[in-house]
Amino acid sequence: MRKKRFRRIVIHVALIAICATAAAPFLWMLATSVKTVAGAAAYPPQWWPHPWRWRNYLDLFNTRQYHFLLWTRNSLIIAVLVVTGTVISSALAAYGFACIRFRGRGVLFALMLSTMMIPFPVTMVSVFIVFHWLGAHTGIPFLGTFKPLWIPAWFGSAFNIFLLRQFFMTIPEELSEAARLDGCSELGIFTRIILPLSKPALSVVALFAFLGVWNDFLGPLIYLQRASQFTLALGLQSFQSQHGGTSWNMLMAASVLVMLPVLLLFFIAQRTFIEGIATTGLKG
Amino acid sequence: MATSRSELRNLVKGLAFLSPWMIGFAAFTAIPIGLSAYFSLCNYPLLQPPVFVGAQNYTDLVHDGVFWQSLWNTLYYALLALPLGMAIAIGAALLLNSKIRGLSIYRTLIFLPSLTPAVAGAMIWLWLFNSKLGLINLVLQKLGVAHPPGWLVSPRWAMPSLALMSFWGIGNTVVIYLAGLQDVPRELYEAAEIDGAGGLDRIWHVTLPCISPVIFFNLVMAVIGVVQNFTAPYIMTGGGPARATYFYTMYLYDNAFRYLRMGYASAMAWVQFLLVLALTGLAFWSARHWVHYQGR
């Protein structure tokens, strides 16, 4: 009995130490974000902000040269387009892989899985050239617009197709067979039976897609040129390269701003997050 | 006849559902990879058409000191970050896999940093690593370290700093390991206990073999991730000081979008592709010796 209690205490102490290390950077960021410029640069550093300056957050939006409102809007537009496109196109492909038996399905599925192994930098140069070429030959501008950032999302992404396919496979086939006998079309089965039953899996895909696009830095860095078009991630970096090393308080306030939607989403959909991430590893 | 007609109908239906993905696969994966194979054999400054030069780019790469340095830097980072990161993640998951109070709070706190957008994470750590005002050196000085390292501004410490920072974002793999641990059959532990195995013995002979498929999955994902590391070093060090943190993908990016040497960058992309293939191939080959799949 005694040994057991001792063990439990050791585990608690170890976990508290790990969690303190995980949380400290957040707390330090939050504290810095409400300090004055002088407060953030004070030596020795202040543990506690003095005075508290909540206005830093307002200033981010009010100061003309920062564009934070515009960057938030840009990020949201791209995120909505990417999330919608990813969910629709990945669900379509997943249905094809999970619910329809046809020749060559196995080969195509293996091909799709293998694309998961291709790192983004491998194709980024030639995809950029493809968009450059498209722009030159169609007269529609692609470079310097949002298009290269969201159009690919409407053509399915391997990881999400795989995730949804695994989920669709668990739905009893009798349901769609019965609908088929009643004369329901394949598209009808997909929208009326499979999709309503797959809400948990679809929300996992939407979450991952949102995280991916919200966190993306390299894509916007390559395709966006004018500061007024930047996403929050890219804007934050340009803000740092202009004001970095001096106004740490503003930089931390801006970082909080970039993180905020992700954190809010996490606390709203905590279960979806944890279960979604847990299943990715097990089915892999 | 009837079967073949329904077979044909299924084929059409199946391909119809797959068509968005197939178009995307052609446009954004297959054709670009094929094109980059061709461009890698060209001199292509983007604004002028590509000119075929044969294997020139590849021979130039072999003699390019910066190429080798960026490759070595990436490998060095992988050696620093991967094994230790894995050990920490498995350790944290083992701690979380016990019946104690407050588990979900611990799990949330460990998981949260991995959600931080890469750019925001880079900003936070830039500030934490600040040699004069940063939290890390402040704590080190309180602990009695008279001359703490300069971290990101020191050629020697910059790379270890980035590895250190990567451990902070490890929470999502902890959650994956934890899910794997919860799938380990109880009977195996009981059997091991009857055989007189102690705590560490049980971890080594029961737990780790049981979760080896999960370890393998995380290893492959981590290798693919580490080879394309870009955002944090680009923002935090710009590759410096003295190119100490100049990663492979940064050099590729610079060649393509700073110097507009699309052919040279394409050659680098192909080398990176082959590198990833070789590394994952190696992982799959080694898996036969240490990954145990239960009869599921």
B218 in contact with chain A, both atoms CB, cutoff 8 A: yes
Q: Is A194 part of any domain?
A: yes
Best of B11, B29, B177 to substitute, by most chain A Cβ atoms within 10 angstroms, is B29
Question: What is this structure's pTM?
Answer: 0.89
CA distances from A141 to A110, A147, B32 (A): 35, 9, 19
How far is Cα B14 from Cα B75, in angstroms, rounded to an integer? 43
* Confidence (pLDDT) at B295: 52
Look at B168 and A217 and tell me if their CB atoms are within 8 Å.
Answer: no
Average pLDDT over residues A212-228: 92
CA distances from A13 to A7, A18, B106 (A): 10, 9, 11
Interface of B with A in 135-154 (CB under 8 A): 135, 138
User: Which of A187-201, B1-15, B103-117, B256-270 is predicted with the least confidence, judged by mean pLDDT?
Assistant: B1-15
What would the two tokens of residue A96 be? 């094809």
For A134-178, what is each residue's pLDDT tens digit? 888 888 899 889 999 999 999 988 989 998 998 898 888 888 888
Whether A162 is covered by a domain: the verdict is: yes
- Residues B168/B146, Cβ–Cβ less than 8 Å: no
- Spatial CA neighbour of B34 closest among A130, A236, A64, A77: A130
> B27 and A130: CB-CB below 8 Å?
yes
CB contact under 8 A, B17 and A104: no
Q: Which domain holds residue A206?
A: 67-283
Whole-number pLDDT of residue B288: 85
Cβ A162 vs Cβ A86: under 8 Å:
no
Residue A203: burial class (beta carbons within 10 Å; 0-12, 13-18, 19+): middle
Output the furthest CA–CA distance in chain B (Å, rounded): 86
Instruction: State whether residue B113 is helix, strand or coil.
Output: helix
Instruction: Choose among A237, A242, A211: nearest CA to A224.
Output: A237
On the question of pLDDT at B289 being above 80, the answer is yes
> Does residue A110 lie in a domain region?
yes
Angle between helices A232-243 and A199-215 (to 10 degrees): 30
Beta bridge partners of B43: B51
| Number of domains, chain A | 1
Q: Is residue A234 part of a domain?
A: yes
- Sign of the alpha-carbon torsion through A162, A163, A165, A166: positive
Residues 86-115 of A with CB under 8 A from B: 89-90, 92-93, 95-97, 100-105, 108, 111-112, 115
Within a domain: residue A179?
Answer: yes
Average pLDDT rounded to a whole number, residues B271-295 = 86
Q: Are A240 and B130 in contact (CB under 8 A)?
A: no
B294 pLDDT tier (thresholds 50, 70, 90) = low
Q: What is B184-243 written as a DSSP string?
A: S-HHHHHHHHHTT--HHHHIIIIIHHHTHHHHHHHHHHHHHHHHT--HHHHHHTTT-STT
In a domain, A113, yes or no: yes
Residue among A126, A251, A270 whose CB faces B35 most closely:
A126
User: Which CATH number describes the domain made up of B59-290?
Assistant: 1.10.3720.10
Residue A205 domain-assigned? yes
- Residue B266: pLDDT band (50, 70, 90) is very high
Question: Quick one: pLDDT at residue B5?
Answer: 83
Residues 6+ apart with CB under 8 A from B51: B42, B43, B44
